[in-house]
Structure 1
Amino acid sequence: MKMFKRLFSSLLAGMLALALLTGCGGSGILNPSTSTQRVTVVERGVHALLTAAQFSTKENKAFDSAIETTVNQISASPSKFVSAEDNLEELNLSYDFNKAIEKADPKAHGELFILSGSINPNNVVAKLKELMTALRPVPGMDTFDARIYRVANPNDLSDNAWVVFLVRHAVFGSGETNLQVSGVRNQI
């Protein structure tokens, strides 16, 4: 019970920190001159959430190329990736993203979550928290990298979405990577 109270208070502190940070800029509204925008204010809230859940977080530059490629693919038509849970295009994109992550670091596994663009920036972390019920701290885990983008179709900024990238680097005795994140995309 004591551990639960500590975890709950840490999560609450993270959410409060996010609320404070949202006043520091980064409304989550896309600038009309760009179709992709990394939203670091929301991202810090996700890192706080991961840290409160006892994950070690650190940004890894080796994943930048895979993330940028995926962001650009989604921005061509975000709404088609947000649609149904069994969206084959989204599943293929997720598979390609994970393969690119594994190419950058064979001990890493990537997941992406595409959330409706109508979600308020202040609620993205709360929605991600709902999705993260499938995440479990794994002994031997190294780091967890989180990136959040706001993407929009350059020809129609109303066609937009939030894209959350979570890359987990977990090493076990045999050198295998084990990630317990699956089947939770597009549940919002």
Structure 2
Amino acid sequence: MMKEAALLIIDMQNDFVLPGAPVCVEGALETVPNIAKVLGRFRRDKAPVFHVVREYRADGSDVETNRRKAFKDAGGFVVPGTRGCDIVAGLEPVSGEYRLVKNRYSGFMQTELDLMLRRLAVSRLVVCGTQYPNCVRATIFDAVALGYDVTLVTDAASARTPEIATANMVDIANIGVHCVDTQAFLERG
């Protein structure tokens, strides 16, 4: 059932997920159990899993313009070698899974993701993670533009508010992305 499919888990790192972290997305922690269920399915089916993560240099030289002040004020976030950069407990990569670092919102922008997916003969992507209006959305829109069949697991993705999540789900569905909850995904794949 997972033939030609890969799972993209976006930015499920401590600094984005844990309450009190510098750039915590409210609601992200609550998605961990659903993401774990989807991840378990991919692991059982031995299908490719990509943990797509954000990393910034400690000096902030590669931080987007709109995040520089927040990065400085927080003393940095998602800096390699810090606990905040680690993938949240329960979703850690296992042997054979990919950890792909991105420097911008989209997992495809200036990364090897498209090349790796094509080498693995992947044509279908299942996406979850945080957060809807930024990295999840940018990655999905680029995936669609690149010709992938995309499924968004709606309750395995998060945004700062339910209203933001709903607005983004509507936009994402309107470009032809399959939007399903965890249960529907696990039943139908």
TM over 0.5: no
Kindly indicate which of the two structures has a greater share of residues assigned to helix: 1
Larger radius of gyration: 1
Q: TM-score range by the shorter chain?
A: under 0.3
Please give the TM-score of this superposition, normalised by the length of structure 2: 0.22
Please give the TM-score of this superposition, normalised by the length of structure 1: 0.22
